Amino acid sequence: MININNFPDEILTHILSFLPIKDAFRTTILSKKWQHLCHSLSVLNIDDEGQDNIIYWTHFRQFMNAVMLCPCSQYITLKSFHLTCDYDLWDAKAECFSLNTWIKAAKQRRIEYLNLDLFEVLLIPTTLFCCKTLVVLKLTNMSVAKMYRCSVDLPSLKTLDLDRVSFHDMENLMRLISGCPILENLTTLFVETRTGLTVGGYFKPLSKLIKANIHSFVVPLRALSNVQFLTIFEV
């Protein structure tokens, strides 16, 4: 009889990566080896399942802290992190603090692919927009706090998708885009800004841009002057 515990760790973590995250972490009761395996996962796909229950949300937040802040996982590269939260009873300060703590932990693990699909949370730009390892960034259904003098440093980012994201003003949006010097793919859908780009506003053409899908001219066309394939659409 084959004993699964005799399989190499690489195979076991690969198997665990196909399970729903909560099912994967249920294996931690088996032995200390399985605790180590779960905290060695390089792909995390986590969904709060939209529960409108404060007790459930408290447990979910505790689970997230256990997953993201475990010391034994901080040296494991996090290739992909997809977080979906549809909880509509946010404690704005508490959830903002928790979210940014999880993002910082992902950055420490050299995150490469990050997909955040949240419910009207306020994202602190200094936490996320300075990350040298990030290659793909997808943001959905959130607001980005005013950047003030915040610098953007995303030197490895090649794909940026923004869906139902609100910025303080157009210059903040362009500051984000201009901070991605090798950006190849850009998508904006229902992106909002309170004010437009001022004369002489902050922007830089995207010299490496290959493909852009833009909704309602939210991005100045002069910033897309080098793009190879451009789609502009109304919804």
Same structural domain for residues 9 and 86? Answer: no
Note the pLDDT of residue 182. 95
Same structural domain for residues 135 and 208? Answer: yes
Q: What is the pLDDT of residues 82-125, one digit of tens each?
A: 998 876 655 555 566 788 889 999 999 999 999 999 877 777 77
* Total number of domains in the chain: 3
Same structural domain for residues 109 and 179? Answer: no
Note the pLDDT of residue 91. 57
Same structural domain for residues 28 and 55? Answer: no
Note down pLDDT in tens along the chain; length 235 residues. Answer: 677 777 777 787 777 777 777 787 777 777 777 777 777 788 888 887 766 677 887 888 888 888 888 887 788 889 999 998 876 655 555 566 788 889 999 999 999 999 999 877 777 777 889 999 999 999 999 888 888 777 899 999 999 999 999 988 888 888 899 899 999 999 999 888 877 655 455 566 788 999 999 886 667 777 788 889 988 887 5
Same structural domain for residues 134 and 159? Answer: yes
Determine the structural domain holding residue 167 and report its residue range: 124-235
Same structural domain for residues 55 and 69? Answer: yes
Same structural domain for residues 53 and 63? Answer: yes
Same structural domain for residues 101 and 144? Answer: no
Note the pLDDT of residue 199. 47
Note the pLDDT of residue 57. 78
Same structural domain for residues 50 and 107? Answer: yes
Q: What's the pTM? A: 0.86
Same structural domain for residues 95 and 152? Answer: no
Q: Tell which of 121, 149, 180 closes a domain.
A: 121
What angle, rounded to 10 degrees, do the helices at 92-108 and 54-68 form?
Answer: 20
Same structural domain for residues 92 and 135? Answer: no
Among 49, 52, 77, CA closest to 64: 49
